[in-house]
Structure 1
Amino acid sequence: MAFYKKAQMKVNGKWYPKSVLVVSPATTEQVAKRIAAESTVSPADVQAVLIALGGVLGDFMAQGRSVKLDGIGSFYFTAVTTKNGVDKPEDVNATLIRGIRVRFLPETRYRGAGKGRVSTRGLSDVNIDWEEWKGDEKASKGKKEKEKEHTEP
């Protein structure tokens, strides 16, 4: 069950459903136990792999490569640059890069051909039952956690 709340956008004054995270994130241990239950690998082995995954992804991406994980999608770095830019191409250099972002594209699968071709995205191509959230988000998230919400008008 996924939850949404009613949110008014400041830009246009219109109302939209806004997804709400109401429970703490799934932990590495919980994910490892679930994967182990659906495979022949022990929870400890799965957890060890998941813990190593972040560093391995970072190393490959630092080499200028993207990383594609079957059934999940692709991860890659993008540069965060200064807002003003420069006037001439010869003035472009690495000092304009202020940081990096990790980007993610869910895996896309295609069925059919021609005009009947249909694409589906991994991870997001699931049946979700949406229900309006009536509870107190902040209490359920904890005092120190920031509100993490996503809007797709």
Structure 2
Amino acid sequence: MAFFKKVQQKINNLWYPQSITVGKPVTTDQVADRLSQISTVSRADTYAVLKDLGKVMGDYMAQGRTVKLEGVGTFYYTAATNGKGVDAPEKVKSTMITGVRVRFIPETTRTSSGKVATRSLVSNEIFWEEWGGKDPGSTDGGEGEPENPFE
């Protein structure tokens, strides 16, 4: 089940549901364990592949390639600039790039009419429940607000 909380936007003072994550992020070990349970690959082999996946993807993307993982989606780089454009194409330089972002597009399947039928990583069976302050998957009660997985 997925969770949401009620959030009031400062710009218009209206209320909206906002999705949240609960508990600690799932670890590489946990993903390796789960993959080994549903495949013929051992946990150790799965773990080793997962540990190297980021480096391999980064190497390909550094070569200007996108990385498409079947059943997951496509990863690619975009360049961030300082926000100051120039008035002629010959003045555009690589030094204007101040950072790199990794972008992700989930894999989709389409119907014969071209409409999106499914997106990977988005279950057709998501059940939304309002956040009540406890992590149902936690062994310690999970009191309080959800953790920020990006800290």
How much has 1:90 moved relative to structure 2? 1.6
Verify the 8 A CA contact 2:24 2:149 in the aligned structure 1. Answer: no
Report the CA distance shift for 1:118/1:58 in structure 2 as closer, same or farther (over 3 A): closer
Report the CA distance shift for 1:58/1:118 in structure 2 as closer, same or farther (over 3 A): closer
- In structure 2, what is the Cα distance between the partners aligned to 1:118 and 1:74? 16
How much has 1:118 moved relative to structure 2? 4.5
Moved over 3 A (4+): none
Deviation larger for 46-55 or 119-128: 119-128
Kindly provide the CA deviation profile for residues 33-87 of structure 1, in whole angstroms up to 9, marking residues without a partner as x.
0000000000010000000000000000000000001111100010011112222
Verify the 8 A CA contact 2:25 2:149 in the aligned structure 1. Answer: no
- In structure 2, what is the Cα distance between the partners aligned to 1:19 and 1:114? 31
Structure 2 SS opposite 1:71: coil
Structure 2 SS opposite 1:31: helix
Provide the residue aligned with 2:137 in structure 1.
none
Aligned-partner residue type, residue 9 of structure 1: Q
Structure 1 SS opposite 2:84: coil
Structure 1 SS opposite 2:26: coil
How much has 1:126 moved relative to structure 2? 3.0
- In structure 2, what is the Cα distance between the partners aligned to 1:83 and 1:103? 19
How much has 1:125 moved relative to structure 2? 3.9
Q: TM-score, normalised by structure 1?
A: 0.85
Q: Which runs of 5+ in 2 are unaligned?
A: 134-143
- In structure 1, what is the Cα distance between the partners aligned to 2:61 and 2:52? 15
How much has 1:124 moved relative to structure 2? 1.5
Report the CA distance shift for 1:62/1:53 in structure 2 as closer, same or farther (over 3 A): same
Instruction: Tell me the number of residue pairs that the alignment of Structure 1 and Structure 2 aligns.
Output: 140
- Counterparts of residues 60-139 of structure 1 (less than 5 Å): 60-111=60-111, 113-114=112-113, 117-135=115-133, 136-137=144-145
Q: Which runs of 5+ in 1 are unaligned?
A: 149-153
What is the CA RMSD across the aligned residues, in angstroms?
A: 1.6
Q: Which has the higher contact order (CA 8 A, sep 6+)?
A: 1
- In structure 1, what is the Cα distance between the partners aligned to 2:47 and 2:63? 25
